[in-house]
Amino acid sequence: MSKTVVIVGTGLGGLSTGLRLATRGYKVKFVEKAPQPGGRLNQIKKDGFTFDIGPIFFSMPYEFEELIKDCGIEMPFDFVELDPLYTVNFRGSDRKFSLYKDIDKLSEQFEGVEPNFKTKLTAYLKKCEALYNDTVNMVIKQNFDSIPSYLMALMKVNPVHLPVLLKTFWKQSSSYFESKEAQQIVSLIAFFLGRTPFDTNAVYTLLSHIEFSHTGYYNVKGGMYTIVTSLVNELSKHNVSFEYNTEIVDFKATNNKITSLTDQNGKTHEADIFVINADAALFRGTVLNRKKFSDKKLSKMTWTMGYLTFYVGVKTQLPQVEHHNYFLGDNYETYAKDVMVNPGTLEKPYYYVNVLSKHNSECAPNGCEALFFVCPVPNLIYKTDWADKDEMINSILEDFSERFKQDISKDIIFKMEYTPEDWQNQFNLYKGAGLGLSHSMLQIGALRPKNYDEKFKNTFYVGSSTIPGAGLPMAVISSKLTAERVYDYE
Ligand SMILES: Cc1cc2nc3c(=O)[nH]c(=O)nc-3n(C[C@H](O)[C@H](O)[C@H](O)COP(=O)(O)OP(=O)(O)OC[C@H]3O[C@@H](n4cnc5c(N)ncnc54)[C@H](O)[C@@H]3O)c2cc1C
C-alpha cells in the first residue's frame, strides 16, 4: 500500500515536493492555514483587477523544467522572458536605465555615465561566473548530513575565491565601477536576498552572473499565480487532497516518529510521513516546542527585511511606465544601511512598481491598470507599529505621480495593502520577515535549519528557512533535496 504524506503548507516548496512525491506513488494531503494555495506566491483578484501579491519574476527557469521532467509531466505553464529585465529610475533625474540582456544594448544605457562600462561589466561578470560555477552544484544543490561534511565541501571550493568571502557585496561589485548609477544598479540584486549590498557577503555576486549573463528573469503568461494554479491542477490529477483554513498547532508522537498533527479545531491529521513547508525555524519553535528555536533563540537569529506591499487599480493607462520598475532616491548608502532597522528612513522610500496589466490585459478592466508596489521596510523586530502605513503609501504614490508627471491619486478605484504584520499573520512569517531567515554565512548550508527533523525520523522540511534558501528557484531546489530525504528514509 502507498505511504501517506501530510504536507503542511502550499507554498511553492510544498507544492513542488507534493508533486514529486505524488507522481512517485505517495498518497499526499495538504493542510494550509490560508484560504487558498500558493503561500507568498499568491494572488488578489477583486473588482476586475488581478494582482500577484509577492514574487514578480524568477531566475533559473531550468529548475522548473527539471521539476516537471522529474515528475514525468508536461510543462503546465508558459515562461515569458523579460528583456529588459527591469528599469531603474533615480530621484531628480529623467534618465531611465533599461537593463537589456544584450550587453551592447545595456552598455549604451551607461554612455556618458560610466566610461568603458562594457569592459568593466565583462570583467566583473567573469568573476561572478567563476563563483557561480565553483559553488552552485557543490554547495547549494546538496544535502549535507553534518557540519563537517559541509565544511569539507567548502574546502573543495577553489581557494582563489577566498578573498571574496572577506568582502561585502557592495565592496566587491562597486570596485569595478566609478559612477553611482552603475554601482547602485549592479548591487540592487542584493536586495532580492532580503538584505542590502552592505551586509550581504560578496559570494552572492554570483547572482549578478545569473541576472546579467546566465538566465536573466522570467515570469509566467497570465501572471505568476498561474504557477500555483497549474501545479494544483497537476496535483489533483494524482488524487492529492487539500484542506484550507487549517493551521497546524500541535502534534502527537510515539518514540521517534510523529503520528499526527493537530489543527486549530482539534482535528488530527495522521500520516506515515510529514513534510513541513511552514517556516522551518518557527515551526520547530512554536509547534514542536524545541528549545533551540524558542522565542528568545529565534529573535537572536538574523532575519530578512519586511515588505510593505500595496495593490492599486487605476482607471487610467500609464504608457510611460514599464512592466518592472525600480525607483531609487539620492542617498543609496545611508538608505540601504538604515532601511532594515530604522523606520525613520521611510520618509523618502525606495520602491519597486510592477504593472501586471501591461502584458496581461485580462488583469485589469478595459482602460485601467493594475499596479503592485513593493517597498523594503524594517520587519516587526525593528518596527512594531504600522498605524502610519497610509502616510507611507500616500508618500510613495505622490512620489510616483511626480516622477511621471501624472497624478494617479484621483484615478484610484481599488487599493489594498500588506504590512509586515499582514505578511506575518497571513503566512506565519516570523516578524513579517519577507524572505525568512537571512543568508548570512552562519545561516546557510549545514548551518541553516535542516531539512530533516532532529528527533522525528519521519518528518522533513522544505522552503525558505531550510536549505538552500529564499526565492522561487531555491524553493524548487529545496523540494528536490527534501524529496531525496524522504526516499532515503524509505
Ligand atoms: C513581497 C515579496 C516579493 C518577492 N519577490 C520574489 C521574486 O520576485 N522572485 C522570487 O524568486 N522570490 C520572491 N520572493 C520570495 C518568494 O516568495 C519565497 O521565497 C517563496 O515563495 C517561498 O516559498 P515557500 O514554499 O518557502 O514558503 P511560503 O510561500 O511561505 O509557503 C508556506 C505556506 O505554509 C503555510 N503555513 C505556515 N504555517 C502553517 C501552519 N502552522 N499550518 C498550516 N499552514 C501553514 C503558509 O500559510 C504558506 O502558505 C518574494 C517574497 C515576498 C514576500
**CA separation, residue 90 to residues 95, 108, 113, 441, 447 (Å):** 8, 17, 13, 32, 38
* Ramachandran sector of residue 222 (left: φ over 0; alpha: ψ -120 to 50; beta: rest): left
User: Which atom of ligand 1 is the closest one to the Cα of 478?
Assistant: 26
11 Cα–ligand 1 center, Å = 5
Residues in the chain: 490
Q: What is the pLDDT of residue 400?
A: 94
Query: Are 284 and 437 within 8 A, CB to CB?
Result: no
User: Which atom of ligand 1 is the closest one to the Cα of 287?
Assistant: 41
- Amino acid at position 160, single letter: V
As a CATH number, domain 4-38+225-301+436-489 is: 3.50.50.60
Q: What is the pLDDT of residue 349?
A: 86
Q: What is the pLDDT of residue 51?
A: 95
Q: What is the pLDDT of residue 97?
A: 97
* C-alpha span between 123 and 118 (Å, rounded): 9
228 Cα–ligand 1 center, Å = 12
Residues of the chain with CATH 3.50.50.60: 4-38+225-301+436-489
Question: Would you give the DSSP letter of residue 13?
Answer: H
* C-alpha span between 431 and 164 (Å, rounded): 31
User: Which atom of ligand 1 is the closest one to the Cα of 11?
Assistant: 31
Topology of domain 102-215 in CATH is: Guanine Nucleotide Dissociation Inhibitor; domain 1 (1.10.405)
* C-alpha span between 482 and 460 (Å, rounded): 7
**CA separation, residue 18 to residues 71, 102, 130, 300, 481 (Å):** 10, 38, 34, 32, 13
Q: What is the pLDDT of residue 159?
A: 85
28 Cα–ligand 1 center, Å = 20
**CA separation, residue 299 to residues 118, 287, 295, 437 (Å):** 44, 17, 6, 11
Residue 333 in 3-state DSSP?
A: helix
Q: C-alpha grid cell for residue 68?
A: 516537471
User: Which atom of ligand 1 is the closest one to the Cα of 31?
Assistant: 43
Q: What is the pLDDT of residue 347?
A: 75
Per residue of the chain (490 residues), give pLDDT as tens: 689 999 999 999 999 999 999 999 999 999 999 999 999 999 999 999 999 999 999 999 999 999 999 999 999 999 999 999 999 999 989 899 999 999 999 999 999 999 999 999 999 999 999 999 998 887 889 999 999 998 888 888 888 888 888 899 999 999 999 999 999 999 999 998 999 999 999 999 999 999 999 999 999 998 999 999 999 999 999 999 999 999 999 999 998 999 999 999 999 999 999 999 999 999 999 999 999 999 999 999 999 999 999 999 999 999 889 889 999 999 999 999 888 888 887 777 899 999 988 888 899 999 999 999 999 999 999 999 999 999 999 999 999 999 988 999 999 999 999 999 999 999 999 999 999 999 998 999 999 999 999 999 999 999 999 999 999 999 999 999 999 999 999 8
Provide the 10 A C-beta neighbour count for residue 166. Answer: 10
Q: What is the pLDDT of residue 345?
A: 75
Q: What is the pLDDT of residue 155?
A: 84
Q: What is the pLDDT of residue 216?
A: 94
278 Cα–ligand 1 center, Å = 9
Residues of the chain with CATH 1.10.405: 102-215
89 Cα–ligand 1 center, Å = 28
Pocket of ligand 1 from Cβ distances under 6 Å = 8-14, 31-34, 39-41, 54-58, 247-248, 277-278, 307, 309, 374, 427-428, 434-435, 463-464, 470-472, 475
* C-alpha span between 464 and 448 (Å, rounded): 10
* From 6, 31, 40, mutation site for ligand 1 pocket: most ligand atoms within 8 A of C-beta: 40
Q: C-alpha grid cell for residue 313?
A: 487599480
